[in-house]
Amino acid sequence: MAKSHSQFICQQCGAAYQKWTGRCAKCGAWNSLVEESIENIASEKNAVSRGQTSGKTLKFTSITKLESSDQRDRLQTGFPDLDEVLGGGILMGSVSLLSGQPGIGKSTILMQICAHISETKDVLYVSGEESAGQVKLRAVRLGANSDRLKFASSNSANDIAKTIEGGEFDLVIVDSIQTLALAEISSAPGGISQVTNCGNLIIRAAKSSGTAVIIVGHVTKDGTLAGPKVLEHLVDVVLNFEGDRYGGFKVVRAVKNRFGSTSEAAIFEMRQSGLAEVKNPSAALLSERQNTDGSIILATLDGTRPILVEIQALVSPTSFGYPKRTSSGFDLNRLGLLIAVLERRTKLKLGDKDIFVNVVGGLKIQDAAADLAICLALASAAAGRKLSEDFVVFGEVGLGGEIRSAFRPDQRISEAKKLGFAHAIAPATIKDPFVIPVKDLRTTLIDYVNE
């Protein structure tokens, strides 16, 4: 039999196989194997052995004699909250990676950033996905009409890197990395080799010329950044664009940031004129609230920003043998744990009930202090009794039914006072006249939901 001249490489983890399989046995990714020539793989291995003899000794100097970059030389995006997420703006010479679901607004927010920066700086928008006519329509709608904003359509990473090296532009947008191809690599665009090497080439060009670059990346069906993980390590900033693509609030948060904190978040709302920052998300989320049973106001944190959000719960007798558990905006596994705690530590019986939990506004809550609000919402819905509309709730619930402390309680309390709430049902460890202290879940339900 003729010897095979190709291998199948997983585009997620890099594992090699002699035959194509639908699923990678190493990382579990489906349809991620791409055929690559063995000659190309062998040449890469030979390059390592040749590199051992071609290297030169590095020139080094004392760290006290190094010149630090000026952190004040940043480009302002036009969105103060987004600048805060970036650590003060887009640093010159930095490379940022922006990812998000299709249609969530990545191209919209980038065009708005281009419109603001191009008033005083030279900006280049490179599109590998859309035609010039499509980009023109978006630019007109968003008011990007400066002569200093240039457009180019290209899928060649070589050409884009050469343009960046020229140093003619202060900011370059590359939309997107999965559509680019390096001429020296024969594999298709979007593969692990193409994405890694195209990213490397663009990053080198940005660092050598001092040009700020923003790269758009695709995401997988579970919301994680598509392509090799090494791309996230190469860039300086990784931004995630989260939220519901059809409505509700959209959140931009930094997963990685070499120039600032990763605990900040910018909240946006899509309007006809483009994305707009939500200055007071708490008031917007509570503006249409009706105080009914199963409705609880949670004082939570999105990054370091305090937000009051409504938690809604619906409990009804099940019509099937196995009760249904549905959650929107809250982790379903965590919901199951809290239901088990309620049944074990209180007299509440939920084993024969369908349970539905919703976080209003399309937000996704990952705060451990949301436990108490979820439990009170479930108890309120099951008993048919509502909590006083003057209360906000926060606190973590342990497996023993105890109420544990929450992160940054002062900011939560301050936000509740601004919106006119009278008290907060919160852990007893917080010493504040505004707080009604609670120690365990059973006593809390008896006192405030009349279990």
- Residue 30 pLDDT greater than 60, yes or no: yes
Q: Chain-wide mean pLDDT for the chain?
A: 88
Mean pLDDT score, 184-195: 83
Q: What is this structure's pTM?
A: 0.78
For 335-393, how does the pLDDT look when each residue is reduced to its tens digit (9 = 90+)?
Answer: 999 999 999 999 889 989 999 999 998 888 989 999 999 999 999 999 999 898 999 99
Place of tokens 């758009």: 216
As a 3-state breakdown, the chain gives helix, strand, coil percent values, each rounded to 5, of 30, 30, 40
pLDDT value at residue 1:
42
pLDDT value at residue 364:
87
What percentage of the chain reaches a pLDDT higher than 90? 57
Q: Amino acid identity of 70?
A: D
- Residue 450 pLDDT greater than 60, yes or no: no
Going by pLDDT thresholds of 50, 70 and 90, the confidence category of residue 52 is: low
Asked if 22 contacts 31 with a C-beta cutoff of 8 angstroms, the reply is yes
Tell which residue, 87, 77, 13, 9, has the closest CA to residue 41: 9
pLDDT value at residue 451:
44
For 142-158, how does the pLDDT look when each residue is reduced to its tens digit (9 = 90+)?
Answer: 999 999 999 999 999 99
- Residue 183 pLDDT greater than 80, yes or no: yes
- Residue 396 pLDDT greater than 90, yes or no: yes
CB atoms within 10 A of CB 334: 17
Mean pLDDT score, 266-279: 90
Asked if 212 contacts 98 with a C-beta cutoff of 8 angstroms, the reply is no
For 227-257, how does the pLDDT look when each residue is reduced to its tens digit (9 = 90+)?
Answer: 778 889 999 999 999 887 777 788 899 999 9
pLDDT value at residue 326:
95
DSSP 402: B
